[in-house]
Chains A and B, each alone.
Chain A
Amino acid sequence: MRSFSVVWNTTIIQKWVMAITGICLVVFLLAHLSGNLLVFLGPEHMNAYGVELREMFHGAAIWVVRLGLIVALILHVLSGIKLARLNRGAKAVRNDKVEHRTSTIASRSMIYTGLLVVVYVVYHLAHFTWGVAHGEYYHVVDHLGRHDVYRMVVDSFHQPLITITYVIAMIVTGLHLNHAISSALQTLGINHPRYTPMLRLAGPALGMLIVIGFLSIPLGIMFGLVK
């Protein structure tokens, strides 16, 4: 019988790993976005949500989710780097003239957009989770003594430099998602003439929707929709 590692390291199973972990990350993005959009409902909702997240199941829930995300991200990054190197080696010499017909800038730059997302995630955690970047906005409490998530977000995005950083990060993420979602379905073997033409449009559309959703927050704050 073939060992686990032989099968695990085949290109196709590595792509299954990419697709399954990638979809976990997309589901997280959707959940994260729906939470973040509470900022439009005001400080009460936002800060209560922050407390709820940290205290659900005596604080266990957030750690279970975090653990899952860390595992998914590590597997996604490791397989992504492994595949990217393999793919580059398989095409060590390229033709002088290459005409792309179906691939896109998004599909050809997955490894670069992916690695940029890692950089962004570290910054983002340092900013809003650990409070080590822009700490001046982090250490605020509201009238109930709760961590004032709302104030932290709104004050941060009043800084044009911070807003611009987030906008760029979201565009990069959007490029990744533009290819990622419908690609994952193909990897999982979901391809049928009845619905695949639709799904090939729905994937990029969902990616775009996620990015617009996230962008609405810094831009909404900068343009004064949220005070």
Chain B
Amino acid sequence: MPDLSVNFAGIKSPNPFWLASAPPANSGEQVMRAFDAGWGGAVWKTLGQPIVNVSSRFGSLDYGDRRMIGFNNIELITDRPLEDNFREIEEVKRHYPDHAVIASLMVETKEEWKDIIARSIDAGADGLELNFGCPHGMCERGMGSAVGQEPKVCQEITSWAVEYSTVPVIVKLTPNVGDIIPPGRAAVRGGAHAVSLINTIKSIIGVDLDRGVIQPPVNTKSSNGGYCGQAVRPIALHMTNQLAQDRQVNIPISGIGGVETWRDALEFIYLGASTVQVCTAVMHHGYRIVEDMIDGTERFMRDKGFETIDEMVGKALPSYDQWGNLDLNHEIIAKIDADLCIGCQKCVAACHDGAHQCIHVGEDSRVPYIDEAECIGCNLCKYVCPVPDCITMVEVDNDKDSMTWNEYIAAKERGEDVEHPGKSTHQTHF
């Protein structure tokens, strides 16, 4: 039986699946139900000076009949009294000593940080998460992403927290930066024991064209919100990978953003996260999604022969390299299985209008064919094809040795007479 338990920067948890700091972790009653459903940990809804929220506060990006593939919110931190939250944290820890309860915090002054950290630890929190990520409302007040976007401030506040804390400190980063490395390194310099990312992305989810009002409306107005859910996963995966690749960021990572299934979670883990956090998917489907996350992960681990989560952490990291180190002579082309093809010709439009004009249709068949000499192996046709396995990409043995852009430039600089790498087609005559 694979072992799903993790030790995340000293915080123990029966599995790597945590609720992210958000509405699903807003109260003790909820968190206890989540633990009963199978969640291994919960990052409490951010604590600070209670605020007042607006209604409405959520917006949804639908795609066809799929609801909430992207989600945005203009909600702030907890609107419940701190005493209530701490009392409930204490109660949860009393009933669930082996689960991870992390207090997410966001306050302004050093004194406030000192006070709220002490109270969190008194309540029994296993760790702290510093919310340097909220990209709406709180940042206007100099908190949240206003901190995460300023490495210096990020480092300083982290160091206060580390000074006052006797439990591990996780810094939750904002993706609203050009480069995630500086704030990540700042957290490390401040002494953080771990980082988590991503918080939400600044966004406007849509516009009601009838009323001419930005969504979600608060009466006749709205504001920019934080974007999350399925649609943000690629961005979150990228940032997780960036930090995991960086030698200076040598602390554990908790991956967040668009996790809904065991596969999503494992992608983060393969890119270096050792726990994952979930918000939107729970808001959409409820705590019970964790049942399949656990079962699917266990089955995957058994199939692949993994015994612990740690063995999987960072599995895919070695496959990442700079573009300049990719082999330009590696050649693949598309193949259409004529027996499977249903003749929709989506691939024809895609290739002609959006790729390399090399899929054609003959006189007497609706089944297109590929001009292999022209195919640049971009994958587009494969993605637009509605029939599974109808278009596959196959490797071409072109007798060329591997050559990357960096190698090519270096060889040219050395004055060598090297052949230009890559495939020559009608648009690329070397």
A binds B: no
